[in-house]
Chain A
Amino acid sequence: MVATVSNEPEVFQGNAVPVPGLRRHVLDLDDFTAEEIAATLDNAAAMRAVLERDVKKVPALRGRVIMTLFYEASTRTRISFEEAGKILSADVINMTASASSIEKGESLLNTGLTLQAMGVDVIVVRHPHAGAPHFLARNLSNVAVINAGDGAHAHPTQGLLDLYTAREHLGGLSGRKVVIVGDVLHSRVARSAVWGFAKAGAQVILSGPPTLMPDPLTPGGWGAAGNNGVANPLANVSVESDLDAAIEGADLVMALRLQSERQQRGFFPSLREYIRRWQVNDARMARANHDALLMHPGPMNEGIEVSSGVAHGERSLIEEQVTNGVAIRMALLYQLAGAVAVEN
């Protein structure tokens, strides 16, 4: 077996160079610096090499206990974390809670305290309420918390895997044009992608029904250079509801999952009209750069937000995103395990 990564740059880098910033938790990408994001993607590349070996196992997290605590149904994200933990030799325990248990059963706090008392090192939490991971992080002194999706707020590991996938194909991300299409308002994937791509220097355009565009995420507003003398980290983000205009010259198009309940709630008139105006199809991809890439966080409504042709076309990175998700989560678990060790 030959384990190689062909494009490894000929630079010697010290083994002792730590990832910048002593991170305890991964809550969202808004508190990552560009350097930390780059270092995490570099580590993910090394993890990806482990994934490509026959023996997909390293002892780095031997003896650590990782708990996936999912209050929402999820297959790919939970399995991705589980695989990542197991490849790193951690013990991974899965706990799923039905939505009703949030209301009736043990409070999130007591669940967290119980897990902490059991010696869990890392809690990977998905929760329908924004801020649930922050709440756990605030109240648990000896546990690292990773946000695996909280309400409409954030999905930072998805954001990082999107960045990793995009960087692998585009080289650098600085100055690249990224279009995020669909229900941005309710999308934690989109919010984390906005932070990640903007911090990596890309130009980000949000497109979709005006009713599904969120308010700006920073005080100055989209595109503002700054506010009260503080630079706007999202100065290179803008909104353009006309997808045909937004996609012009794009290097990367990210289509978001459209939930049918949005139509029922009246955010747009009909699926037919949505498809007409915002489906990513061949005609629209033709307006983008000739080698523009397509990403989708899954699960996909083929034929609604993305046409089948584009979804399975050669520009689609959808399956690769899944593989890279494992590598990114390995990198983060490794980095956090080290941080917890330092504090204790």
Chain B
Amino acid sequence: MALPQQRPILITGGRVIDPANGRDGIFDVLIADGEIKAVDQSIPAGSLDGAVRVIHAGGLVVCPGFIDIHTHLREPGFEYKETIATGAAAAARGGFTTICAMPNTDPAIDNAAVVDYIANRAASVPARVRVFGCVTKQRAGRELADMEELISAGVVAFSDDGDPVYDAGLMRLALTYSRDLGVPISNHCEDHELCPGGVMAEGWVSSRLGLAGIPAVAEEAMVARDISLAELTGGRLHVAHLSSAGSVAMVRQAKERGIPVTAEVCPHHLLLTDAWALGGKGDPNVAAGPLAYDTYTKVYPPLRTETDVAACVAGLADGTIDCVATDHAPHERVSKECTYHEAAFGISVLETALGTLMSAVHNGDVSLPTMIERLTTGPARVLGNGLSQYTALTPGTPADLTLFDPDAAWTVDVNQFASMGRNTPLDGVELRGRVAATIAGGRLVFEEPAVLNKGETA
């Protein structure tokens, strides 16, 4: 990300929540030359030289820019679903200043040339783009990729996401080999034999709809395997998009035992249940009418029960789950405009993430500073230290910030999305919590005047 610099920005009167510095209060923030210049109780605009953009942020939260360590940018290979440019624009609208491209592209990100290609394509987009490399060559699950070469090219972690590293022996080798490289192996945990043909969570809803189910144990069996392998090898395991109560319990126990494991959870798994597939926006008591089989609810891991949702929320609150990751998975129309069986897995998440997450805050299940921690220092911690400079509002560090109104109610309208993926079950749903502005590298990359103006008048 190298964008032309803008005039300095002064953000006044906002509630600054900066978990890395333990700060939570009303402060002014001054940004210039792409950096945080000052954070103080009062920075009078008149004291500054020249033209300054002043943002009155009363009523808004000002925090480090969000980091997403699980973003499908689809480029190269699937530019009809998303490009790095549109994905980055969606990130900016969602308050994310750093996103991590997943390697299930075509070609897969299994060599330095593809990493370089992505870096070039990301040079002038409105978000920092980091890259995950494949665990195995061509993501085929047979031989390890050239991990050190990938790291040298800038890869921040490894994953064969979209598919698990299925062979337990190979997963052991990956964890062992990567141990000295300082980056985690992220695994998409799914035991195929336990969910043949499965398209949604196994339970009363799948039974009602006559759809093949994916039991929670299909995820949990592999989470258990991987935790044991992490314990055995000492390699760093990251559990991608953890979604079941059983997985949360296992990760919690593993952490208590000191096993090097981290975990992420997606916004949708913190709010939506399998009942959304009935077409009644989650109402479990609707009959399965024409709106049922909503293919926008088809995602892996599947939307599960209220018990699983509650366990994930609790895990995020108590730190068992280190961070939120969107698993933003944009798809073109026809991938979802078909029967549930045929539909692609995945939800376009970046632009609804904050509004979705804030429901757990408004419910009182997760504090606002904790939620921000799970979107900033949390994901940086998972990846090691490479991103920590972007997670604190410390003078002298790059100015990556998100301003949002925690209470603003708004209705999701996919036609407003910057993402090419309009695939979300939340279209038309009212959420509370909306991004007002996103600043990446000192540049205002997104602003929502309607939300920002609230600060002007506050």
List residues of chain A with CB under 8 Å of any chain B CB. 24-25, 27-28, 30-31, 102, 107-109, 127-132, 134-135, 137-139, 150-154, 188, 191, 214-219, 221, 227, 230
Contacts and interface: CB of A to CB of B under 8 A. Distances in A.
A317 B237 CA distance: 61
Given A24-B290, A129-B341, 15 more contacts: A30-B287, A30-B288, A107-B334, A107-B337, A109-B337, A129-B340, A130-B209, A130-B341, A131-B340, A134-B293, A137-B290, A139-B337, A215-B207, A219-B275, A219-B284
Nearest to B287: A31
Interface in B91-118: none
Contacts of A214: 207
Contacts of B327: none
Given A107-B334, A130-B341, A216 B292 contact: no
- Chain B residues touching A, majority SS: loop
Interface stretch (B28-36, B198-206, B222-230): B198-206
A109 B338 contact: yes
Interface in B54-108: none
A191 B210 CA distance: 8
Contacts of A24: 290
B284 A216 contact: no
22 contacts: A25-B290, A27-B289, A28-B288, A128-B341, A130-B209, A130-B210, A130-B339, A130-B341, A131-B209, A131-B211, A131-B293, A134-B292, A134-B293, A135-B293, A135-B338, A138-B291, A151-B211, A151-B341, A217-B204, A219-B275, A227-B284, A230-B285
A131 B291 contact: no
A108 B288 contact: no
A128 B338 CA distance: 13
B342 interface: yes
Given A30-B287, A227-B284, A131 B206 contact: no
Interface in B338-368: 338-342
A215 B340 contact: no
Contacts of B342: 102, 129
A134 B210 contact: no
Contacts of A154: 210
Given A30-B288, A138-B290, A217 B339 contact: no
Contacts of A152: 210-212
A236 B447 CA distance: 56
Given A134-B288, A134-B289, A138-B291, A218 B208 contact: yes
B213 interface: yes
A216 B341 contact: no
Contacts of A218: 204, 208
Contact of B292 (A102, A131, A217, A230): A131
Contacts of B204: 215-219, 221
B284 A129 contact: no
Contact of B206 (A138, A215, A230): A215
B338 A108 contact: yes
A185 B328 CA distance: 34
A130 B287 contact: no
B207 A216 contact: yes
Contacts of A191: 210
A46 B41 CA distance: 83
Contact of A135 (B202, B208, B287, B339): B339
Nearest to B292: A134
Given A109-B338, A153-B210, A230-B285, A130 B293 contact: yes
A129 B275 CA distance: 19
The listed residue with most B CB atoms (<10 A of its CB), out of A139, A154, A217, A227, is: A217
Interface string B253-290: 00000000000000000000001000100001101111
A153 B209 contact: yes
Nearest to B203: A215
Contacts of B284: 219, 227
B216 to A, nearest CB: 13
A138 B211 CA distance: 18
Contacts of B287: 28, 30-31
A131 B289 contact: no
Nearest to A137: B290
Nearest to A226: B285
B194 to A, nearest CB: 13
B157 to A, nearest CB: 35
Contacts of B208: 30, 217-218
Contacts of B209: 130-131, 153
A151 B292 CA distance: 15
A301 B422 CA distance: 47
Contact of B340 (A28, A30, A128, A130): A130
Contacts of B203: 215
A230 B280 CA distance: 15
Nearest to A219: B284
Nearest to A229: B285
B94 to A, nearest CB: 28
Contacts of B202: 215
B210 A188 contact: yes
B289 to A, nearest CB: 6
Contacts of A134: 279, 288-293
A288 to B, nearest CB: 27
Given A153-B210, A216-B204, A217-B208, A132 B339 contact: yes
A227 B306 CA distance: 13
B403 to A, nearest CB: 38
